[in-house]
Structure 1
Amino acid sequence: MTHVALSIAGSEATGGAGAQTDLKTFHQLGTFGTVALTCIVSFDPSHDWAHRFVPIDPQVIRDQIEATTALHDIDTVKIGMLGTPTTIDAVARSLGERTFRHVVLDPVLICKGQEPGAALDTDNALKEKILPLATFVTPNHFESMALSGMDSITSVEDLTEAARRIHEISGAVVLAKGGVELDGDDAVDVFHDGEQTVELRSPKIGQERVSGAGCTLAAAVTAELAKGATPLEAARVAKDVVTSSIEHRQSGHAPFEAVYQGAYGR
């Protein structure tokens, strides 16, 4: 029987990120994917491709989680875009009512500074209610700074320190993503589980971030963990999958490109 994984994430209509990307990544790696949608996000082509965000009713989110976990034996879940404190509370309650072996958190932080308001409230709720439930966290460069409390990350050594701090705070395995943000020819991610620290490297493919890369990485980790891989094994496969998805990225009419998972392993 095929292993099953659950993605709790937002819908991104153009197919380059969010739940759509999670399902494609699960499928590519031979894991049966299910989804509980938390919000609907669509780019606005008339306003510089800004995000339009519509949250799903919290009870509907809980109903989706109830349905998929009742139908399938699921011990591995990936958490992506949540978006509001109310959504975070609903997801935290649903997670607390069930036992998962693996909870992979892609910690989508909204607030880019410390300005007050809804964005900061959402980020604080994520740190307070979801991060403690995670067993594996995949922060990007900015999220690594925010979660670790570091003012800057400019080197692999800094990224390693951030990964260690996040592990100490959360107890989770950490795969901190350097991507194109750090100098050098390689895109470097740092894996840290409290016992070992491993640098995962691949040559950079361009200097621009590609939409959906973070979703793909976390979803690939989730798929591999659902199949029984160790966290480090899952991280290595995820690095290969995201590298392939960037290499074979999909272009369109927006000023950014999106990942394509379908070429991996072919």
Structure 2
Amino acid sequence: MSTPPVTLTIAGSEATGGAGAQADLKTFQALDVFGVVALTCIVSFDPKADWGHRFVPVEPQVITDQLEAITTAYPAEQLDVVKIGMLGTPATIETVAQAVRERAFGHVVLDPVLICKGQEPGAALDTDNALKEHVLPLATFVTPNHFETLSLSGMDSIDTVEELTEAARRIHEASGAAVLAKGGVRLEGDEAVDVYVDAETTEVLRAPKVGQVPVAGAGCTLAAAVAAFLAQGASPLEAARAAKIFVTAGIERRLSSDAPFDVVWQGAADQ
């Protein structure tokens, strides 16, 4: 019997299961990839405070220990793809960057979780700057959402497909990574539009919008699906196309709860 490829996610735990490491592992399983995880933080929504985030970082040494166990158990020919999600502190970012440099993964898929929206320039800005300085240069594939695309590209606004394409090109030129910039429901029109850019190709990926409200976990799921398809041997463009199809199915079959947001269902593609 053939064994599945192994894919690592370095991400936070999101207690309701809709995003973070939980979404990543469910995506890997649905796409026939054996998933392993190094947790960077514990995130739990607070239903008593308008479902705001409660954030507890994992100690850097504990992150190092997890990554040591994982990379020792699975040699490079077995585990060559890593997906990086929520990191959350400069210390965590430095720890993860060092581990990724030491392993030299073939594919590093970065979901660049930026947290500074401009009103909290202290720790949040320090964290975002550390991510851009230490982790972004290691990425081979980047999947920014609308806000992150604005921040990474330096553009003032992204309201059209043409502007999203220009932003993706800027991020690619600055990082050298393949870029899948997510427009989603943020752009006007009936289609959820993402733009893929690498050194040879620019392609607009389209799917019918499913509602006008973002669905939690879609970004995590998309990046994890890209990682899974890369682990199975797909090219970056093939991985982007397949991941778009996968996450669209998950949004169509999304799960509702008593929380004020719906979440992606990673098993929808099998239904």
TM-score by length of 2: 0.97
Q: What does 1:98-113 align with in structure 2 at a 5 Å threshold? A: 98-113=103-118
AA in 2 matched with 1:61: I
For structure 2, list consecutive stretches of 5 or more residues without a partner in the other structure: none
The superposition leaves residues 177-215 of structure 1 with CA deviations (integer Å, 9 ceiling, x where unpaired) of 000000010000000012110010000000000100000
Note the C-alpha offset of 1:114. Answer: 6.4
For structure 1, list consecutive stretches of 5 or more residues without a partner in the other structure: none
Note the C-alpha offset of 1:116. Answer: 2.0
SS, match of residue 184 in structure 2 = coil
What is the rounded CA distance, in whole Å, between the counterparts of 1:145 and 1:245 in structure 2?
26
SS, match of residue 181 in structure 2 = strand
For this pair of structures, how many residues does the alignment match?
266
Note the C-alpha offset of 1:69. Answer: 1.2
The superposition leaves residues 65-93 of structure 1 with CA deviations (integer Å, 9 ceiling, x where unpaired) of 11111111311000000000010010011
Q: Percent of aligned positions with the same letter in both sequences?
A: 71
The superposition leaves residues 220-263 of structure 1 with CA deviations (integer Å, 9 ceiling, x where unpaired) of 00000011100011001110111011111111111111110111
Alignment correspondent of 2:143: 138
What is the rounded CA distance, in whole Å, between the counterparts of 2:253 and 2:56 in structure 1?
30
Choose which of 19, 22, 40 in structure 2 pairs with 1:20: 22
Is contact 1:114-1:120 (8 Å) kept?
A: no
Note the C-alpha offset of 1:265. Answer: 3.5
Alignment correspondent of 1:227: 232
SS, match of residue 4 in structure 2 = coil
TM-score by length of 1: 0.99
Alignment correspondent of 2:129: 124
AA in 2 matched with 1:27: Q
Q: What does 1:75-224 align with in structure 2 at a 5 Å threshold? A: 75-113=80-118, 115-224=120-229
Alignment root-mean-square deviation, CA = 0.8
What is the rounded CA distance, in whole Å, between the counterparts of 1:117 and 1:36 in structure 2?
27
Note the C-alpha offset of 1:113. Answer: 1.7
Moved over 2 A (4+): none
What is the rounded CA distance, in whole Å, between the counterparts of 2:225 and 2:110 in structure 1?
12
AA in 2 matched with 1:60: V
SS, match of residue 120 in structure 1 = helix
